[in-house]
Amino acid sequence: MKTWIDSLRNEHQLPTQAYKELLTCSDADTIEYLHQQAREVSLSHFNNKIYIRGLIEISNCCKNDCYYCGIRKSNSIVERYRLSKEQILSCCKEGYELGFRTFVMQGGEDRAQSVEWVVEVVKDIRTTYPDCAITLSLGELSYQDYKKLYDAGANRFLLRHETFDSSHYKQLHPDNMSAEHRQQCLRWLKEIGFQTGTGIMVGSPFQTIDNIIDDIQFIYDLKPQMIGIGPFIPHKDTPFAKYNAGSIELTLRLISIFRLMFPSVLIPSTTALASLGNDGRLRGILAGANVVMPNLSPCDNRKKYSLYNNKAALGSEAAEGLALLNDQLKTIGYEISFERGDYSI
Ligand code: SAM
């Protein structure tokens, strides 16, 4: 198995069977070897520096009804909010002063925050903070709308494909959503020129190892600049409330596989990983991740952007907890980078 890992590091690709064996392998030494190789690659590309992104959750209103998501349309218990332009700009001001040079605006597909409105917000941020990267994560839009946002000054877009297989996708989403359309959106984003991020939830209900292998293949073909891999975590007020959370170990394994596949890709150690285990964030970094996204949303709103149970948003998960995050990183030999951290080969 170690030969496969060496080959992934050197050739950046493996036959399907080898991925299957890696994902199902129960030998601890082999898995530690995988993580170690991924860590070496990450260190050789980024040194011991971890990029930070300030996450602003701009709205928890959503027209979609994804079965796994706590802010789905049919959840009548969640208290809805949408941030004003002034609130978003004030988050950016606070973030800039703390040292952030990337702002990520994420939200539900909230049509009350029209694309024209988001364009205005992006333009204002671009003018006020010309040295910052603007990342959007606002779901599925038309080619023209993505283009408007890019032309307004947004640089990056995160859109997890969630799962490549269309029948698995159907098990996670209502009929008005499709895997094909989401994948098409990703191709548009790349074509327009966004640094594009995709990814999956690990351990989503009904997911099989073959599904994950399809995801690996899809990501290999897409060649995104960012890859977000986080465990599924149930939310109590969704149809998937009774399902188990995804595995931390499998999530870490995938992070390492993608680090070896794409040495310079940006991989966050996700909030979901941090929410599942106290040391999840650090373990993600030791598996090859090189980005963290502390929460920069107004404190009053953080609890309401509740995608899954017990989502972490305090302490080192919060923008104002950067010093704590840096202390934690130091315990494993890493530190925060205040650079903008664009994708570069
Ligand atoms: N609306 C945008 C979109 O569709 O990409 C961004 C918001 S969406 C809530 C952001 C991500 O949250 C999704 O891509 C999904 O992977 C993740 N997510 C939602 N519910 C989750 C859950 N229960 N467990 C883990 N991740 C979840």
Report pLDDT for 319.
79
Show the low-confidence residues of the chain (pLDDT under 50): none
Q: Which two tokens stand for residue 241?
A: 């409330």
Element containing residue 230 per DSSP (H, E): strand 226-231
Closest-CA residue to 68 (of 312, 242, 199, 197): 242
Q: Which two tokens stand for residue 195?
A: 């640094």
- Pocket mutation for ligand 1, best pick of 69, 215, 308 (most atoms within 8 Å of C-beta): 69
Residue nearest ligand 1's atom 4 by CA: 139
Element containing residue 323 per DSSP (H, E): helix 322-331
Return mean pLDDT, the chain.
Answer: 96
Q: Which residues line ligand 1 (CB under 6 A)?
A: 68-69, 106, 108-109, 137-139, 159-160, 162, 201, 230, 232-233, 235, 272, 307-308
Q: Which two tokens stand for residue 300?
A: 């009053």
CA dist 226 → 2, 66, 136, 254 (Å): 26, 23, 13, 14
- Pocket mutation for ligand 1, best pick of 111, 307, 308 (most atoms within 8 Å of C-beta): 307
Report pLDDT for 223.
98
The span from the CA of 210 to the CA of 11, in Å, is 22
- The three-state DSSP-derived secondary structure of 20-48 is HHHHHCCCHHHHHHHHHHHHHHHHHHHCC
Report pLDDT for 317.
80
Q: Does pTM top 0.85 for this prediction?
A: yes
Report pLDDT for 314.
77
Domains of the chain as residue ranges with CATH? 34-337 (3.20.20.70)
Which atom of ligand 1 is least distant from the CA of 240?
A: 23
The span from the CA of 190 to the CA of 62, in Å, is 24
Displacement of CA 190 from its chain's centroid (Å): 17
Which atom of ligand 1 is least distant from the CA of 137?
A: 6
Report pLDDT for 129.
98
CA dihedral 81, 104, 100, 321 (to 10 degrees): 50
CA of 158 to the centre of ligand 1 (A): 11
